[in-house]
Amino acid sequence: MRQPLDWQIASVKDIRPETASVKTFTLALPNWTAHRAGQHYDIRLTAEDGYQAQRSYSIASEPERRGEIDLTIERIEDGEVSTYMHEVLVEGDQIEVRGPIGGYFVWDASSRDQLLLIAGGSGVVPLMSMIRHRASAGASNATHLLYSSRTFDDVIYYQELEKLKSKGKGLEVFHTLTRSQPAGWSGFDRRIDEAMLKEVVKPLGKSLQAFICGPTLLVESAANTLVKIGIKPNQIRTERFGPTGTA
Amino acid sequence: MPEPFVSRGFTGKRRGGAEKANRIPPGQYLTEDFPVLSAGPTPRLDLKHWTFTIEGLVKEKVSWTWEEFLKLPSQSFVVDISCVTKWTHLDMKWQGVSVDTLLEHAELDRKAAFVIAFSHEGYTTNMPVADILNGQAFVAYSYDDKPLEPEHGGPARLVVPHLYFWKSAKWAAGLRFVEKDQRGFWESAGYNNHGDPWKEERYS
């Protein structure tokens, strides 16, 4: 019998750009196991001489999709694994992975929690898995995503989020663009702050569950502010990455 | 036996520092940063109410206030740290009190085989007692000659350098000695019960 966390060799089924520095990789898995939304996979690269490098990447797809997963990966300038994924890997290649991993930063649609999702940059990836899972499961629990990006061109999954939002199943999406905004931009235009969080949290009840993922400073600040405006620490789950944390 | 897998076109960019390679556990990469990883918001602890307690299978429970804790004999520790998220940081300089020193104040019951490190915000992590004795673990309140920042577990955290860093409980509140092993926070969420980086004991 297979142990769920053995390394396995996946095939790269599809690679598509999301933004200038972010791509989504669809991997077909010979030993697929349904993940929980929010979990990640490890990728291991091996050179001819046996040198290896490993990194963890969040799953972007919903667990309802059988036999394959999407990993959405940002290219980090001096990254060892992300630059390989972006510059060397092509469709049809094989790649060693293991997972799914992680049992805390996860959400199951059966729980029906009211969700507050806060993302910075590629921190949106595990939250997107939750949003897609929620849609696939036909859930209609109130779900608010607050998503901070530098510019409009850096927003990952914009069209899909718009589409899911327009279905009117309780999903609200709030964007904030911190560096520049296109003409006629009606979303937020600053870093996440107390007033913004109050506005996004307000219609949700006191029993919400918050998930925050992004760069350390954004996560620190958002989590501290949520506590300040009355959300209990045990209702807030965080996942952070530093400059090298996602390389 | 199947051929070992090779990633087409992968040569490896971070091979530099070959002289340090024997200090980097398998699957880890070197960083000069100190990444922050926590499961929830960073607690801001008031030193006036801070305590560190040794309890469970000890003859008498012992507890220190912040002021008392600072008066305990402390040491400087320069150690290599590996996080299960894959980073390894060499030569991290801490100041703190050895667990051996703390245990001079509490008589361990013979039945104490495991320790649960617990934190002020509710985090727990478990280890065999043998993994925290004989200079293997300390409670640190300073990093890099500065007070330990809240994001990194300040005012004080446990540091157990020879195990993955989740065993080094942030915002440490105490050690509870028990007879039977009990899985802690990450140990109950898919992570390994022991966590030796050299054996790559990452996951359950």
Report the Cα–Cα distance between both ends of chain B, in Å, rounded: 26
Which residues of A are less than 8 Å from B189 in CB distance? 102-104
pLDDT at res. B155: 97
> Residue A2: pLDDT band by 50, 70, 90 thresholds?
very low
Assigned domain for B7 exists:
no
A138 touching B (Cβ < 8 Å)? no
pLDDT at res. A3: 55
Q: Of B151, B189, B190, which has the smallest distance from its Cβ to A220's Cβ? A: B151
pLDDT at res. B34: 86
3-state secondary structure A3-43: CCCCCEEEEEEEEEEEECCEEEEEEECCCCCCCCECCEEEE
B129: domain CATH number? 3.90.420.10
- ipTM score of complex: 0.86
Sign, CA torsion A51/A55/A59/A63: positive
Domain ranges in chain A with CATH number 3.40.50.80? 109-241
Q: Whole-angstrom Cα distance, residue A70 to residue B46?
A: 44
B37 touching A (Cβ < 8 Å)? yes
Helix A194-201 vs helix A216-228: angle between axes, to the nearest 10 degrees? Answer: 70
pLDDT at res. B116: 98
Mean pLDDT over B124-132 rounds to 98
Quick: pLDDT tens for A180-219: 999 999 999 999 999 999 999 988 877 899 999 999 999 9
CA–CA distance from B176 to each of B9, B23, B128 (Å)? Answer: 50, 31, 12
Residue A231 has pLDDT above 80, yes or no: yes
Residue B203 has pLDDT above 60, yes or no: yes
pLDDT at res. B33: 84
Which residues are within 8 A (CB) of A94 and not within 5 positions of it... i.e. 6 or more apart? A9, A10, A11, A12, B5, B8
pLDDT at res. A245: 35
Classified by CATH at the fold level, domain A8-101 comes out as Elongation Factor Tu (Ef-tu); domain 3 (2.40.30)
Distance from CA of A228 to the nearest CA of B (A): 11
Which residues of A are less than 8 Å from B11 in CB distance? 47
Residue B177: count other Cβ atoms within 10 Å of its Cβ.
20
pLDDT at res. B17: 62
Domain ranges in chain A with CATH number 2.40.30.10? 8-101
A51 touching B (Cβ < 8 Å)? yes
Q: Whole-angstrom Cα distance, residue A212 to residue A220?
A: 9
Assigned domain for B96 exists:
yes
Quick: pLDDT tens for B65-122: 999 999 999 999 999 999 999 999 999 999 999 999 999 999 999 999 999 999 999 9
**Hey, are the CB atoms on A46 and B10 less than 8 Å from each other?**
yes
Residue type present at position A218: L
Distance from CA of B36 to the nearest CA of A (A): 7
Mean pLDDT over A126-136 rounds to 98
Residue among A214, A154, A180, A182 at smallest CA distance from A17: A154
Alpha helices in A95-247 (DSSP H): 124-136, 158-166, 194-201, 216-228
Q: Which CATH number fits domain A109-241: 2.60.40.4070, 3.40.50.80, 3.40.50.2300, 2.40.128.30?
A: 3.40.50.80
3-state secondary structure A119-146: EEHHHHHHHHHHHHHHHHCCCCCCEEEE
Report the Cα–Cα distance between both ends of chain A, in Å, rounded: 33
Residue B91: count other Cβ atoms within 10 Å of its Cβ.
10
Quick: pLDDT tens for A47-60: 999 999 999 999 99
Assigned domain for B19 exists:
no
Assigned domain for B3 exists:
no
pLDDT at res. B16: 61
A54 touching B (Cβ < 8 Å)? yes
Quick: pLDDT tens for B18-71: 667 789 999 999 888 888 888 999 999 999 999 999 999 999 999 999 999 999
pLDDT at res. A207: 84
Instruction: Quote the number of domains for chain B.
Output: 1
Residue A19 has pLDDT above 60, yes or no: yes
> Residue B4: pLDDT band by 50, 70, 90 thresholds?
confident
Assigned domain for B15 exists:
no
Q: Of B5, B34, B188, which has the smallest distance from its Cβ to A46's Cβ? A: B5
Q: Of B7, B43, B86, which has the smallest distance from its Cβ to A95's Cβ? A: B7
Residue A22: count other Cβ atoms within 10 Å of its Cβ.
21
The more confidently predicted of residues A39 and A5 is: A39
pTM for the structure as a whole: 0.91
Domain hosting residue B69, numbered range:
47-199
**Hey, are the CB atoms on A78 and B13 less than 8 Å from each other?**
yes
pLDDT at res. B91: 96
Assigned domain for B189 exists:
yes
pLDDT at res. A205: 77
